Amino acid sequence: MKPVDRQTILITGATDGIGKLTALELARRQAHLLVHGRNSEKLARVVAELKAASANKNIEGFTADFSSIAQVRRLAGEVLATYPALDVLINNAGVGSAEARYSADGHELRFAVNYLAPFLLTHLVLPAVKKAAPARIVNVSSAGQYPVDFDDVMLEKHFDGSRAYSQSKLALIMFTIDLAAQLTKEQVTVNCLHPGTYLNTNMVRRAGVTPRGEPQSGADAVVFLAVSPDVADTTGKYFNVKTEARPNAQADDAQARKRLRELSLKLTGLTQ
């Protein structure tokens, strides 16, 4: 890949926690950063903070609510209108177990934000990622994983916030494996990671959980997968922080991944 200071990197969910710290580290390395957030005022403050802390003027903010498929599409359009090539896409944005039940489109919120949004965004900006090849896609998942129930994906029968969160994160891992296989000849790697257990983030605190660690270690792991030469030839893998690990067994089920892909294309309105 190009040196970091010549790369254009899109980071979603970059206004606090792991995403913000990831953005700060990459800003200090003088990457051209496109940072996403849900709240425009907060996003503007974070962009200003990042510029001041890094002396990097090449940082731009993009606003979108990932509970809305229409807003994910708008975000992709805005990015592509100015940046025809993306060296790294970091899908970090997410919501936890304690948030609302449904998305703006009526889908289970965690499935919508943590999985459908990055699924859709990645496909929409993929031409720009391919154009920058060799390039990378990094998906921030979790060690909390629960098999997707294809008979009740939105958990209408038995809703539980923690289960919903864990299902959405396993879906993201399944997508990672699927996409990596599709891009083997494109010089685009796709990997995912668990950034750390109960790190001190807003998501963890809102869930009423006592934090066990600081988010900087999670950000370091994301940066590692995004730009380290040590993983230049690694793709389709799940990492526990910086160590390759095994995800839930459903991730290895090719038929389950196919069913998930077909459902996701339908729910997002994509065609292949």
**Residues with catalytic roles:** 165
Burial class (CB in 10 A: 0-12, 13-18, 19+), 130: middle
Q: Tokens for 146, please give them.
A: 């629960």
HSE-CB at 89 with a 13 A cutoff on CA atoms is 31
Q: Are 239 and 38 in contact (CB under 8 A)?
A: no
Across the chain, how many H-helices and E-strands are there?
A: 9, 8
Q: Pairing state of beta strands 135-140 and 88-91? A: parallel
Cα–Cα distance for residue pair 245/56, rounded to 1 Å: 35
Distances (CA, A) of 124 to 34, 106, 133, 210, 268: 16, 22, 16, 37, 11
Cα–Cα distance for residue pair 49/127, rounded to 1 Å: 31
Residue 111: DSSP 8-state: I
Cα–Cα distance for residue pair 119/257, rounded to 1 Å: 13
Nearest of 102, 118, 145, 52 to residue 264 by alpha carbon? 118
